[in-house]
């Protein structure tokens, strides 16, 4: 049932079970299972919509904000890198993974990825 009619089919099944003459012991179990399936289907749809929104084209002002915030920053530890990513993700209303990927794409990975920052330091030291 992996299609757009899944929630409607689950609600129909739930209505059927609620109004049927199935013994109450089995009815309660079926209702719980169907309710969980409805919640899962709605959560999946919500995640799908969020993912679609996060993969939209970046606007010029978003890129400028990203660049201005991360310019000349180097993550001293993983917490600092995560804080920078989370701060920008909240400001831009985007998924942190998408923000981190865009920063790396723009050459600002040292500010959002501690391991990258650390490896670049080691290369420079050698």
One domain for residues 89 and 50: no
What is the DSSP code (8-state) at residue 76? S
Residue 73 resides in a domain: yes
Residue 1 resides in a domain: no
> What is the extent of the structural domain holding 26?
6-54
Token pair 């991360």: residue = 70
One domain for residues 42 and 64: no
Total domains, the chain: 2
Per-residue pLDDT tens digits of the chain, which is 126 residues long:
455 568 888 888 889 988 999 998 888 898 889 889 888 888 887 777 776 665 678 999 999 999 999 999 999 999 999 999 999 999 999 999 999 999 999 999 999 999 888 887 777 776
One domain for residues 86 and 118: yes
Vertex 42: Cα angle to 37 and 48 (nearest 5): 125
Cα(16)–Cα(72) distance, rounded to whole angstroms?
62
Q: How far is CA 11 from CA 5, 21, 28, 30, 36, in A?
A: 10, 18, 15, 12, 11
Residue 43 resides in a domain: yes
């Amino acid at each position: 049932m992996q299609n757009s009619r899944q929630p409607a089919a689950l609600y129909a099944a739930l209505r059927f079970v609620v109004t049927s003459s199935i013994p109450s012991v089995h009815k309660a179990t079926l209702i719980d299972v169907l309710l969980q399936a409805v919640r899962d289907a709605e959560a999946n749809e919500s995640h799908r919509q969020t993912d679609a929104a996060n993969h939209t084209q970046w606007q010029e002002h978003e890129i400028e904000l990203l660049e201005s915030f991360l310019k000349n920053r180097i993550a001293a530890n993983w917490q600092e890198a995560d804080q920078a990513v989370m701060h920008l993700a909240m400001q831009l209303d985007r998924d942190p993974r998408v923000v981190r990927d865009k920063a790396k794409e723009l050459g600002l990975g040292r500010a959002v990825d501690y391991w990258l920052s650390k490896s670049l330091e080691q290369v420079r030291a050698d």
